[in-house]
Amino acid sequence: MNKPQQHPVVKHGRIGVLLVNLGTPDATDTRSVRRYLREFLSDRRVIELHPLLWAPVLYGPILMFRPRKSAEAYRKIWLKDVDESPLRYYTRRQAERLQERLPDVEVDWAMRYGTPAIRDRIDALIERGCDRLLVLPLYPQYSATTSASVADATFDALKKLRWQPTLRLAHPWHDHPAHIQALTHSIQRQLAELEREPEVLVLSFHGLPKKYFDLGDPYYCHCQKTVRLLRESLGWPEDRVRVTFQSRLGPTEWLQPYTAEVLAQLPKEGVTNIAVATPGFVTDCVETLEEIAIEGREIFEEAGGERYDVLPCLNDSDDSIEMLEALVTQELGGWR
């Protein structure tokens, strides 16, 4: 009688959930920051220039000067107790807390650039028996530069596998009720703790070269929709909420209005008491803790501003974990 052939035992039958954030340097020395920036800025989803044109700029002025400046910014915001960047700390905490809420699935986390790498964490989930995988990019608003880049890295990792897990990629959640509710609760709670209600709430999002928008990237529209739903949910009138875009890099036009210009302009319009929130970032990072909380304050106060309050991101708050649980539960529909 023919015996069936045997292959090594492969664990299977589990569901993996991978939270993916942008990435961050491993340390604050210039070399670590340069390594991280090189990987980040070599991604053609981020810089859509032909490598022959881009490489001389990247390996010339950018990697020569930027790492030192960025390293300084990272040193200002580094979490010394845990010796890691806030972005990595909060992303890990989100995964740990989500795992407590979802004991029937395997929750893990990864970074698009730097460590832990997406490929390594997918391998680890497969080791734990996951043959179904949900990847949730931690960007509420879709952009080719972020969400699609996570998808690329995921597909690249699966390319190498003989037995691929069945894959789901979470849908953008800029307008998801759970996201709007988490933002509303978080902002209301933080505003209630302020001595005085701000005259204007500035909502600052990470920017994007305007050309990408012209070519069809939906990011700008997703940001605007988050703002409209959030404003309606907070019950604030249109003239007390300003949408701005920060972190412009290079000489080309980016999405407008620029955060730094609005912060310098508001006191001239007589608005001297503001709060700033950053609903495009799920976790605090160098862009919120340095660019908004430190540089932004300087700009506003130098222009004559008096009160400048910065509202933290969702981070590992209960609001955040409830939101993630709702998103993941919806995306896993039919699998559990």
Ligand X SMILES: C=CC1=C(C)c2cc3[nH]c(cc4nc(cc5[nH]c(cc1n2)c(C)c5CCC(=O)O)C(CCC(=O)O)=C4C)c(C)c3C=C
Q: How far is the CB of 73 from ligand X (least distance, A)?
A: 6
DSSP assignment of 129-166 equals: TEEEEEEEES-SS--IIIIIHHHHHHHHHHHT-SSPPE
- Whether the CB-CB separation of 125 and 108 falls below 8 Å is answered with yes
Compute how many residues bind ligand X; rule: CB under 6 A: 21
Nearer to ligand X, 281 or 308 (CB): 281
Q: How many CB atoms lie within 10 A of CB 91?
A: 27
Interface pick for ligand X out of 16, 20, 28, 85 (rule CB under 6 A): 85
- Whether the CB-CB separation of 206 and 288 falls below 8 Å is answered with no
Q: How far is the CB of 27 from Fe ion (least distance, A)?
A: 19
CA 177 to chain centre: 19
Residue 245 interacts with, from ligand X, Fe ion, none (CB under 5-8 Å by kind) = none
| CA–CA separation, 179 and 168 (whole Å) | 20
Q: How far is the CB of 269 from ligand X (least distance, A)?
A: 28
Nearer to Fe ion, 284 or 287 (CB): 287
CA 6 to chain centre: 44
Residue among 272, 313, 180 at smallest CA distance from 234: 180
Residue showing the smallest CB distance to ligand X in the complex:
285
Residues in contact with 48: Cβ distance below 8 Å, sequence separation at least 6, in sequence order: 211, 212
- Whether the CB-CB separation of 177 and 251 falls below 8 Å is answered with no
Residue showing the smallest CB distance to Fe ion in the complex:
247
- Provide the token pair at 102: 């979802």
Residue among 144, 150, 146, 139 at smallest CA distance from 216: 144
Residue 24 interacts with, from Fe ion, ligand X, none (CB under 5-8 Å by kind) = ligand X
Interface pick for ligand X out of 18, 19, 28, 70 (rule CB under 6 A): 70
197 annotated as a binding-site residue: no
Written as one letter, the residue type at 257 is P
Residue 259 interacts with, from ligand X, Fe ion, none (CB under 5-8 Å by kind) = none
Stretch that binds ligand X, among 3-11, 128-136, 158-166, 279-287 (CB under 6 A): 279-287
Q: How far is the CB of 242 from ligand X (least distance, A)?
A: 19
Nearer to Fe ion, 145 or 184 (CB): 145
The interaxial angle of helices 63-77 and 30-41, nearest 10 deg, is: 120
- Provide the token pair at 86: 């806030």
Which residues sit at the interface with Fe ion, rule CB under 5 A?
247, 287, 291
CA 153 to chain centre: 16
Stretch that binds ligand X, among 153-161, 229-237, 282-290, 297-305 (CB under 6 A): 282-290
Nearer to ligand X, 71 or 105 (CB): 71
Interface pick for ligand X out of 281, 309, 316, 321 (rule CB under 6 A): 281
Residue 278 interacts with, from ligand X, Fe ion, none (CB under 5-8 Å by kind) = none
| Secondary structure of 16-64 as H, E, C letters | EEEEEEEECCCCCCHHHHHHHHHHHHCCCCCCCCCHHHHHHHHHHHHHH
87 lies in the binding site for ligand X (CB under 6 A): yes
Angle among Cα 292, 293, 297 to the nearest 5 degrees reads 85
Please give the residues from 143 up to 162 whose contact with ligand X meets the rule CB under 6 A. 143, 145-146
Nearer to Fe ion, 46 or 136 (CB): 46
174 annotated as a binding-site residue: no
- Provide the token pair at 44: 């053609």
Please give the residues from 161 up to 220 whose contact with ligand X meets the rule CB under 6 A. 206, 208, 219
Return residues touching ligand X (CB under 6 A): 22, 24, 46, 66, 70, 85, 87, 139, 143, 145-146, 206, 208, 219, 247, 249, 280-281, 285-287
Which residues does the annotation place in the binding site? 206, 287
